[in-house]
Structure 1
Amino acid sequence: MTSEITLFVNPTAGRGRGAHAAQPAASALRAAGFRVRTVSGQDPGDALARARAAVAEGTGALVAVGGDGVAHLALQAVAGTDTPLGLVAVGTGNDFARALGLPVRDPAEAGRVIAEGLKGDGVREVDLGRAGDRWFGTVLASGFDSRVNDRGNRMRRPAGRFTYDLAMLAELAAFRPFPYRLTLDGGEVREIEATLVAVGNGASYGGGMRICPGADLGDGLFDITVVGDCSRRTLLRVFPTVYRGTHVRHPKVTVHRAARVEIAAEGITGYADGEPLGPLPLSVRCVPGAVRVVGR
């Protein structure tokens, strides 16, 4: 493996933490004997092109500095290649880093962990989800949660998890269950009324909401959490338990496991890693060992 490492930086992650985090992460990598170069971009398309060029040129690892958005972009560059992915998680959500057991909002420590992993036996393969030509590491959200995502993306204040909380409260005003058509592993089409359907490769989204608490990055399967046709009152009662993952005990919540999922519903946008994939219907599959990651 070459000793040159590429830092893939989102300078706007976490209200500017991405730009500030690059230096301590780079210092930790250089102290371990690696040569470090930094790539960014004028927009997501330009940034992805630069990341893919670094991978094609044989960089020793692509280290994404930012949150789940830049991690999602980095996955598009490294998935299906031999190039390891490291994460310096300093964004708002950082759910993929959490799923991998990596440091969050400690760039110097993340740099040290990545350096140790690259020098030792800290590189492993994990599964990814794939929808069309898009890879994702954490959760595909659809339904009430994706409507909240739509609203949250339009809000400028406040920052962080509170954005999601306030967007959820605002979206409750128009709350209603949605008619879904759900197909698992090519089986029968299930027609259901549901508040949301979440397809989890990882356990959490939205900055630690454990919507699919049993999801395992190495089992070749998704955990699919279906929240049924509950009332506003029930949703408000269940919502706080999502941070502990205990919502799955509620009778309105069911969990399925499958390697391929087809979801259809009218007027719903699918989000993965917090990024919009497009309107439903979507067909997604779990791809075992799709990416090599650096960590503990």
Structure 2
Amino acid sequence: MDATAFILNPMARSGRARARLEALRSFAKKRLPGAAILETEAPGHAIALAREAGQGGVRRLFSVGGDGTFNEVVNGVMALPPEARPAVGLVSAGTGRDFFRHLSEKFAFPKNDAWILDAKEVPADVGRAELGDASGPVVRYYMNIADAGISGEVVRRVADSRKRLGSLEYLKSTLQAIWSYRAPRVKVRILDADGSPWEKDIVLLIAVAANSRYFGGGMCIAPGAEIDDGKFFFMVAERVGYFSLLRRLPSLYAKKKLKHPRIYYAEGTRMEIVSYTGDLPIGLDGEFLRAPRVSFEILPRALRILVPAR
């Protein structure tokens, strides 16, 4: 297999990104004729494709789709030994585009795909999530944001809606979730940046372990997050009133921290959430999961990502 490969998701933006995908396919055939072009056939397929590409000797692997496709590619690559992991790049063609939004603030992505030809590698941290239930632990990796609470309910609603409205679908689902969400009682434990523990029993609105800044189609939930600083940006919010939360929602689009006595921010390397009242709704880069216990741990510089060289 050639040293470069592309994994395309034909269902990006519910199939409405086909023109973008075909343009990328045409570009790759003309400018990188030896590159493999691999197409996903079902949810989860990109994990296997990415793992097999790395095993086959691919050294530059581009995900063509949205945050969900990129998350699957990262999970496939992280299943490999460190020395076998290809560098990964994101050619954004999806709905939320939240991880790409942060990347494009750090690096100047051109409107065309020519940057792919001489893309440079930069180190990046990876989040490791471990979900526990009666059947045993499940491990998943993520590059952007992991969360538990109301945001997990938003992810579920967006997935059920088939993402017809793009970023507006996230906002609509957020407003619906604010009205219907039933907050669970949990214990939150955090290991902060200097190694000190923080622990609190709360009625949970949301807990976020952010490697990057944005989720929900443009909400800046973690304005201080960086993908290469070896730590998470944490945000934990206890249950607050419906109208109090609505009043503060615009701050997320203005890239400001939410100000409320029941909302906490910190930086650190690990978060654990244990529910006293059953499964938690959990979101991992837009994937909806459920578990009564979850932990998030930062893996410093575990991957190399591909970005424009200039």
- TM-score bracket, shorter-length normalisation: 0.7 to 0.9
Q: Is the partner of 1:15 in helix, strand or coil?
A: helix
Question: Deviation at 1:255?
Answer: 0.5
Greater mean alpha carbon deviation, residues 151-160 or residues 238-247: 151-160
TM-score, length basis structure 2: 0.84
Residue 100 of structure 1: aligned partner:
103
Find the aligned partners of 1:41 and 1:157 in 2 and give their Cα distance.
18
Map of 1:1-296 to 2, 5 A cutoff? 4-29=3-28, 32-33=31-32, 35-79=34-78, 80=82, 81-101=84-104, 109=112, 111-117=113-119, 122-132=120-130, 133-156=139-162, 158-185=164-191, 187=197, 189-265=199-275, 266=277, 267-296=279-308
Question: Deviation at 1:103?
Answer: 11
- Contact preservation (8 Å) 2:14, 2:164: no
Residue 136 of structure 2: aligned partner:
none
Question: Deviation at 1:26?
Answer: 3.8
Larger strand proportion, structure 1 or 2?
A: 2
Given the superposition, is the C-alpha separation of residues 52 and 156 from structure 1 closer, same or farther in structure 2, using an over 3 Å criterion? closer
- Contact preservation (8 Å) 1:141, 1:198: yes
Question: Deviation at 1:243?
Answer: 1.4
Find the aligned partners of 2:6 and 2:95 in 1 and give their Cα distance.
19
- Contact preservation (8 Å) 1:8, 1:40: yes
Structure 1 gap ranges (5+): none
Determine what percentage of the aligned residue pairs are the same residue: 27
Find the aligned partners of 1:241 and 1:176 in 2 and give their Cα distance.
23
- Contact preservation (8 Å) 1:183, 1:190: yes
Give the number of equivalent residue pairs. 289
Question: Deviation at 1:34?
Answer: 5.5
Question: Deviation at 1:156?
Answer: 4.2
- Contact preservation (8 Å) 1:6, 1:59: yes
Given the superposition, is the C-alpha separation of residues 19 and 158 from structure 1 closer, same or farther in structure 2, using an over 3 Å criterion? closer
What is the alpha-carbon root mean square deviation over aligned residues? 2.5
- Contact preservation (8 Å) 2:144, 2:212: yes
Please list the CA deviations of residues 116-152 of structure 1 after superposition, one character each: whole Å capped at 9, or x if unmatched.
21xxxx1111001001321101111211111122222
Given the superposition, is the C-alpha separation of residues 231 and 295 from structure 1 closer, same or farther in structure 2, using an over 3 Å criterion? same
